[in-house]
Amino acid sequence: MNNQADSSNSFLTSLPTREFDLLKPHLKLVELRHQSLLVQAGDEITHAYCPHSGVVSMVVNLDDGETVEVAMVGRESLFGVSAAIDGEKSPNSAIVTLPGIASTLEVEHVRLAAARSEDFRMQLRRHERAVLVQAQQSAACNAVHPVESRLSRWLLHAADRSGGDALALTQDFIARMLGIQRNSVTIAAHGLQDAGLIRCSRGYIEIIDREALITNSCECYRDVKTHCDRLFRRDRHPVIGRESSRASDRPAIEPMRAKSPHPS
Return d(Cα 123, Cα 127) in angstroms, integer: 7
Confidence of residue 57 (pLDDT cuts 50, 70, 90): very high
What pLDDT, on a 0 to 100 scale, did the predictor assign at position 30? 96
Question: pLDDT, tens digit, for every residue of 105-159?
Answer: 999 999 999 999 999 999 999 999 999 999 999 999 999 999 999 999 999 999 9
Q: What is the CATH number of domain 10-233?
A: 2.60.120.10
What pLDDT, on a 0 to 100 scale, did the predictor assign at position 132? 93
Q: What integer is the mean pLDDT of 14-43?
A: 94
Positive or negative torsion for Cα 88, 221, 147, 36: negative
Confidence of residue 7 (pLDDT cuts 50, 70, 90): low
Residue 255 has pLDDT above 50, yes or no: no
Return d(Cα 156, Cα 153) in angstroms, integer: 5
Residue 254 has pLDDT above 50, yes or no: no
What pLDDT, on a 0 to 100 scale, did the predictor assign at position 233? 79
Find residue 110's DSSP bridge partners. none
Q: How far is CA 160 from CA 29, 73, 243, in A?
A: 22, 10, 10
Q: What is the mean pLDDT of the chain?
A: 87
Confidence of residue 5 (pLDDT cuts 50, 70, 90): low
Residue 9 has pLDDT above 90, yes or no: yes
Q: What are the DSSP E strand ranges found in 114-264?
A: 166-167, 198-201, 204-207
The CB-side HSE value for 33 (13 A sphere, CA atoms) comes to: 7
Q: How far is CA 169 from CA 99, 158, 212, in A?
A: 10, 10, 21
